[in-house]
Amino acid sequence: MSQTALLFPGQGAQTVGMGRELAEAFPVCRSLFDTANEVLGYDLAKLCFDGPAEVLTESNHAQPAIFVVSAAAWAALKEARPDLEPRALAGLSSGEWAALYAADCVSFADTLRVLEARGRFMQLACEQQPGGMLSVIGLSVDQLTPIAEACDIQIANLNSPEQTVLSGTVTGIEQAEAMAKEAGAKRAIRLNVAGAFHSRLMAPAAEQLAAVVADLPLQEPRIPVVSNVKGAAFESVAEIRELMVRQVTESVRWVDDVQWMIGQGITRMIECGPGKVLAGLVKRIDKQCAIHTIQDHASLEQALAQLDGSTEG
């Protein structure tokens, strides 16, 4: 009997057309988009299905949009396999809110509202203080830490043993790119993002988000949810309120998240939502862990074919 975890992607996974097939194939998925349109006050479904890409990419649109597609993927999976009971949930950055929703910690409508606000606050912070992010492949965190310190930037994402993302000022990122290459990095790639996510430049966004999260109705998660900040499961609602704000300015410890779940006996992970980024990272962290993705009707059918016929644990 396999121990299953669900994974939810974060900003950057958005693509025009996402969610369309799920909404057309499953009424339960279509209803999520209809609800989202009502809560947000604009046609999120049309934005997901038809774009334009430049509007979908804006943080205040991308974050709730990816969440709805992720929630739809999870809803379609639950309808097809009602016996599937995940033993852990995790999300990358904004995807962590989808994990909290899947754990019945926060309602669908409230998750939409907090993600719209989170994205809006982050977009504003990016405009107020320009920054960037740099993906470095082939250097360890120990090798990158002194580079980040020398350039006065931060380690934003520990994505896999081979890939770490740095975040900070434009000047700092430029300096870090040169230093990483000199230190022997296989690749150092500047990311096409609005600003310096998961760095101190997001402090104004974190302060604004704190006021929203303070009043957000939250319940104890029904399923363990792994915190990006801790690299382990949340232990209380109070901790969720604190760490979901700190997450905006602190490192995403994705390697620790995956290793914590595997340490709890997880042997299979299912990425629910657009793209396959998290599935790829899991493969680089632990090759023994089975991984599936669900983002449209075809990938759902493929995942169902791969799942065994026994009751999931």
Task: Say if CB 18 and CB 48 are below 8 A apart.
Answer: yes
Task: Say if CB 275 and CB 7 are below 8 A apart.
Answer: no
Told to judge if 93 belongs to the known catalytic residues of this protein, a careful annotator would answer yes
Task: Say if CB 149 and CB 168 are below 8 A apart.
Answer: no
Give dist(CA 97, CA 104) in Å, integer.
Answer: 11
Q: What sections of 141-276 are H helices per DSSP?
A: 141-150, 170-182, 203-214, 237-246, 254-263
User: E-assigned strands of the chain?
Assistant: 4-8, 88-91, 131-137, 154-158, 163-169, 187-190, 225-227, 232-233, 268-272, 290-294
Give dist(CA 43, CA 306) in Å, integer.
Answer: 35
Task: Say if CB 244 and CB 268 are below 8 A apart.
Answer: no
Q: Which residue in 59, 70, 93, 227 is the catalytic one?
A: 93
Q: Which residue in 198, 227, 251, 292 is the catalytic one?
A: 198
Told to judge if 299 belongs to the known catalytic residues of this protein, a careful annotator would answer no
DSSP codes of every residue in 74-102 = HHHHHHH-TT---SEEEESTTHHHHHHHH
Which positions are catalytic? 93, 198
